[in-house]
Amino acid sequence: MKHVEVVEKGANIKEAANQFADKGFEKDEVYVFTYDKENSKNLTEVTDTNIIRLSEEGPLHSAASLFLTREDELRTKMASLGLSKDETKKYEEELKKGSTIVVAATGERKDVEARAKVV
């Protein structure tokens, strides 16, 4: 199962991650995405959430990411969590606007339930 939150204000990112924990998601099932790569890394540390690992992204995608644009990299990582092509494009546009995407992902990657909410 997947849940997605679109967060517009930085202060609400940790709150969104904590809400997923309150709903029963483990910290390693929650991922934070921003358009800026360094900001994504920093927020992942601050919120104590997970990063996409090689085993989740797949070795071919991981190797190819060295040559991808940031947009392609974000779409690939979100798709590895089970989001559809349309969903990844939608959330990519939110990221370009400066929003942060918080994704909680569990179970089979095929089962996707995405819910966008502006916080």
In the predicted structure, residue 111 carries a pLDDT above the cut 50:
no
CA atoms within 13 A on the CB side of 2: 23
Q: Which residue has the higher pLDDT, 61 or 80?
A: 80
Q: Are strands 100-105 and 30-33 parallel, antiparallel or unpaired?
A: antiparallel
pLDDT band, residue 107 (cuts 50/70/90): low
Minimal CA–CA distance to 101: which of 27, 34, 17, 40?
34
SS3 label, residue 33: strand
Query: Which residues are CB-neighbours of 41 under 8 A, at least 6 positions away?
Result: 51
Q: What per-residue confidence (pLDDT) applies to 119?
A: 39
